Structure 1
């Protein structure tokens, strides 16, 4: 009887609670962030089951994302869990959350930061980029109206814009670490060049890219970068000369030798 009762308690404790959606239409994405592809959407008051939670893009001050029973992620801000903190276990690498390595470089070197700043261009106050997305600083994509989530005063200076960029970069290095397995061994310049690419094309696009698949297959990194990066030259359905030039800069940086390792271990 005791064994049966214990099994019943364990079974009940393992049941995932259901929580209602609070937004009118809430997107469930392939990863814990607004740059990931949309897998499905939930309607207001629809109950969802949460299997685990993980950190991701901050939405109105809440950076927790809930992995649903459908295998996709919704911002916890739009889920009525009764708490602004974690209400269940944190996602692990095996459950689709967390990085494949905890020792990768969370940020990138100066050469990479300068490359991103060069091609994103400085924007002191929020305005649409070439394809109509509201941005500010060096390529920060606004998450709220008028970029209210930015903690720096507008108009930005080049110094505060660079600080904002440094705040944003860990999101993109985490994407890379999540998508890459342990086969690629990347130095600081290779890591910086790939981060610039992900910063530009978005985490969702990087995740499904041939570039990432080839690196995970163990192909020579320099060859993969030289062949795959130049393919990412379109935006809004058009080939943009600026993107072609940016990809050339990223390939050049990628091929620049460096004795410092960045992935899977940071030196």
Structure 2
């Protein structure tokens, strides 16, 4: 069974094509109806004055898309996610299967150059020799759809490892032990100088101990 465009991609395509329930002539002079349906897209030939329902338009679109879905599936040789597939189906639907198959976009993609696709899409924005702003907007939107969800984590990226209780190491314990030892040495003496130093050491030890406990608790969270 031929791969089908996702609902997300279909909704985007319908938005870009726009719904016209009454036949009209497009920029190339072709009679068009529904979601961009022309005689080239399917068996129904739109004519002046033809009117269809929204349901008819959706049914026509799904039928029309089958040939473009098949063109993408059969000619793209690399693996595509749903959004990438949808972007290319929309592109092929708009420019035709022949143009899609012969495009530089397809050639580059089949060589694995995924990043080239958005730029290649932007080359297809002219009606004749005139740049068409509607096509510019559509190609940008197709490029955005192409890039949606396309990031795949490299196998070379090593996840950051969380250190369990990093403060419970010899360095941290040694700092506390050194401070306690120094305090004991000074406190063992007598006289105002020793006691003054002892007071300073008590304050320093308290600060160090407080920081140690704080870091320990943060590490446990």
TM-score scaled by length of structure 1: 0.51
Task: Give the equivalent residue in structure 2 for 1:155.
Answer: 51
Question: Pairwise mapping of residues 29-44 of structure 1 onto structure 2 (< 5 A)?
Answer: none
Kept in 2: contact 1:136–1:142 (CA 8 A): no
Kept in 2: contact 1:190–1:255 (CA 8 A): yes
Distance in 2 (alpha carbons) for counterparts of 1:169 and 1:143: 12
Extract unaligned runs of 5+ from structure 1: 1-102, 260-267
| Bigger relative CO (Cα 8 Å, ≥ 6 apart) | 1
Q: How many residues align?
A: 147
2:103 is aligned, of 197, 206, 209, to 209
1:245 is aligned, of 137, 154, 157, to 137
Question: Pairwise mapping of residues 125-164 of structure 1 onto structure 2 (< 5 A)?
Answer: 125-143=22-40, 148=44, 155-164=51-60
Extract unaligned runs of 5+ from structure 2: 152-221
Distance in 1 (alpha carbons) for counterparts of 2:30 and 2:11: 22
1:212 Cα shift? Answer: 0.3
After TM superposition, the structure 1 stretch with the greater mean CA deviation from structure 2, 127-136 or 200-209, is 127-136
Distance in 1 (alpha carbons) for counterparts of 2:36 and 2:94: 8
1:111 Cα shift? Answer: 2.0
1:149 Cα shift? Answer: 5.3
Kept in 2: contact 1:196–1:250 (CA 8 A): yes
Distance in 1 (alpha carbons) for counterparts of 2:30 and 2:61: 17
After superposition, the CA RMSD in angstroms is: 2.2
2:69 is aligned, of 173, 185, 189, to 173
Distance in 2 (alpha carbons) for counterparts of 1:243 and 1:115: 14
Task: Give the equivalent residue in structure 1 for 2:94.
Answer: 200
Distance in 2 (alpha carbons) for counterparts of 1:172 and 1:185: 17
Q: Deviations over 1:181-239 (max 9, x none)?
A: 2xx110001000110000001111111111100111122x2x12222111111123211
| Change beyond 3 A, Cα 1:258–1:226 | closer
Does 2:30 match 1:122?
no
Distance in 2 (alpha carbons) for counterparts of 1:204 and 1:143: 12
Which structure has the larger Rg over C-alpha atoms? 2
| Change beyond 3 A, Cα 1:258–1:225 | closer
Task: Give the equivalent residue in structure 2 for 1:15.
Answer: none
Q: Which structure features the higher share of helix residues?
A: 2
